[in-house]
């Protein structure tokens, strides 16, 4: 289709030639929504793609703070407020050396469509800094968060932009930023940040929500195909919040997570990952997974130095299901081929765009594999953030059972909606197409009704 080809060339060569990750995300979506664009010329006439693919606002700022050695440190901060068509901007803050405009634009674009899939009234945004909290003292992290919020506060609010946590930003960092925001604004606006500690406005199950949500959607998919989750062997990558609580919910439902990984290597435990030990190593002690091998000698530990080229050990094992929960583009074409060779039948993305374009195309061409994209599967985190906003607005605290039930219902509805959308366009089982079309239509149709802005 000429319109799609024009937009791909416009984004990749003219508008954002250096934004490779953003362009990758855009390409996946545009190629998926071809059927809806062909049947609705109004989208081209009203230049919906041009308007949708341009962030509404990108805010950049300098952060200056003093470390424990009384040395001045300088970092860069940014907030990409991508789209507010469906509601106030909503999306996490990431503190990591890899943070760049390209990555934040990609994340904010994905967040816009992901948030649309939840059916909740929230737009899309993402932000963060190249600050690395690893190796920093609590006092240094606190001082950085205060300095970060001294600029960010100007651009957020409970009806404008509600940030949450992401990589490098836990309840601790959110707590520091909330305190500074409250001080500057002289207002207890606890709906301005989500992912807060339970002590002051946080929601139960927020930390667990993304991982739990991935498994709830998986459970709906398996039920739809008359499959039982009990006894399924699951390869999981990562060892942060998403991976840990994906493993936790898998174990609760009777599945067997057999792998986890970190920046130094991968653990394979044929008996099933010991969740208490994983939490102790990663959540409490912040140690390498080599410690897991020391505690459980029967487990296999593969350091990164022994990985095959363009492959990762975490995906080179016999499994029924694979759930990448680490970072973008972690699952390559070689990994996809290894999973297929090892009889994996379902790939469900827990991290944001963890599969490369080549890997996704490989999965979609295989008729005996089901692939669920991140914008659907990992929507549980933002959904529970919105539930936190609802609790804050009503000045109530819900039980974990109530939050869990609402999360389960939201994820089940997302699965049914994207499945039905794919079937509507004669692409049964193509959940990438279903998710992209549904997310796009919800934003695009609302944008048409709001006129030009």
Q: Name the nearest CA neighbour of 321 among 383, 363, 267.
A: 363
CA distance 351 to 326: 6
- The closest of 179, 323, 337 to 240, measured between CA atoms, is 323
430: three-class secondary structure by DSSP:
coil
Task: Tell me how far apart the alpha carbons of residues 120 and 114 are, in angstroms, rounded to a whole number.
Answer: 10
DSSP string, 308-361: PTT--GGGSS--SEEE--S-TT-B-HHHHHHHHHTT--EEE--SSS-B-HHHHH
The answer to whether 158 and 103 are in contact (CB under 8 A) is: no
* Contact in structure between 333 and 362 (CB atoms under 8 Å): yes
Phi, psi of 414 (to 5 degrees): -60, -45
Across 349-375, b (16+ Cβ under 10 Å) vs e yields bbbbbbbbeebbebbbeeeebbbbbbb
Are 122 and 386 a contacting pair, CB within 8 Å? yes
Quote the tokens at residue 72: 């001045």
Catalytic residue status for 126: yes
CA dihedral for 406, 386, 172, 245, sign (positive or negative): positive
Q: Where are the beta strands (DSSP E) in 7-123?
A: 57-66, 72-83, 89-95
If DSSP codes are grouped into helix, strand and coil, which group holds residue 54?
Answer: coil
Angle between helices 20-32 and 357-365 (to 10 degrees): 20
How far apart CA 418 and CA 435 sit, in angstroms, is 5
**Which regions of 218-275 does DSSP assign to beta strands (E)?**
233-236, 256-261, 265-268
Q: Which of 126, 207, 232, 293 is labelled catalytic? A: 126
Burial class of residue 453 in the structure, from the number of CB atoms within 10 Å of its CB (0-12 exposed, 13-18 middle, 19+ buried): exposed
Sheet of 57-66, strands arranged across: 57-66, 72-83, 124-129, 89-95, 161-165
Longest dimension (CA), the chain: 63
Active site (catalytic) residues: 126
């Amino acid at each position: 289709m000429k319109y799609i080809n024009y937009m791909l060339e416009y984004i990749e060569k003219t508008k954002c030639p250096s934004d490779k990750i953003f362009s990758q995300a855009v390409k996946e979506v545009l190629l998926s929504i071809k059927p809806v664009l062909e049947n609705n010329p109004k989208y081209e006439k009203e230049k919906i793609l041009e308007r949708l693919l341009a962030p509404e606002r990108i805010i950049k700022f300098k952060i200056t703070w003093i470390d424990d050695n009384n040395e001045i440190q300088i970092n860069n901060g940014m907030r990409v407020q991508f789209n507010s068509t469906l509601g106030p901007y909503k999306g996490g803050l990431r503190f990591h050396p890899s943070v760049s405009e390209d990555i934040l634009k990609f994340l904010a674009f994905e967040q816009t469509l992901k948030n649309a899939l939840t059916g909740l009234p929230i737009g899309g945004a993402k932000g963060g800094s190249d600050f690395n909290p690893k190796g920093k003292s609590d006092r240094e992290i606190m001082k950085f968060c205060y300095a970060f919020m001294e600029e960010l506060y100007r651009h957020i609010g409970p009806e404008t932009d509600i940030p949450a946590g992401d990589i490098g930003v836990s309840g601790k960092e959110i707590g520091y930023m909330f305190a500074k925001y409250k001080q500057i604004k002289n207002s207890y606006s606890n709906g301005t940040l989500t992912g807060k500690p339970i002590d002051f406005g946080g929601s139960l199950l927020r930390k667990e929500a993304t991982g739990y949500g991935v498994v709830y959607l998986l459970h709906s998919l398996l039920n739809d195909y008359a499959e039982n989750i009990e006894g399924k062997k699951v390869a999981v990558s990562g060892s942060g919040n998403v991976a840990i609580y994906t493993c936790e919910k898998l174990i609760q439902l009777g599945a067997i997570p057999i792998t986890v990984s970190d920046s130094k290597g991968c653990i394979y435990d044929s008996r099933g990952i010991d969740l208490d030990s994983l939490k102790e190593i990663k959540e409490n002690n912040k140690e390498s997974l080599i410690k897991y091998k020391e505690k459980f000698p029967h487990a296999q530990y593969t350091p990164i130095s022994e990985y095959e080229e363009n492959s990762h050990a975490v995906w080179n094992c016999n499994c029924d299901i694979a759930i990448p929960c680490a970072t973008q583009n972690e699952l390559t074409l070689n990994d996809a081929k290894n999973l297929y060779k090892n009889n994996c039948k379902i790939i469900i993305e827990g991290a944001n765009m963890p599969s490369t374009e080549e890997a996704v195309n490989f999965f979609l061409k295989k008729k005996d594999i089901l692939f669920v994209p991140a914008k659907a599967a990992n929507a549980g985190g933002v959904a529970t953030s919105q539930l936190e906003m609802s609790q804050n607005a009503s000045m109530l605290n819900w039980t974990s059972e109530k939050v869990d039930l609402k999360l389960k219902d939201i994820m089940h509805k997302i699965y049914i909606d994207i499945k039905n959308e794919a079937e509507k366009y004669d692409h049964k089982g193509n959940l990438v197409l279903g998710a992209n079309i549904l997310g796009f239509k919800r934003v695009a149709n609302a944008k048409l009704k709001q006129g030009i802005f």
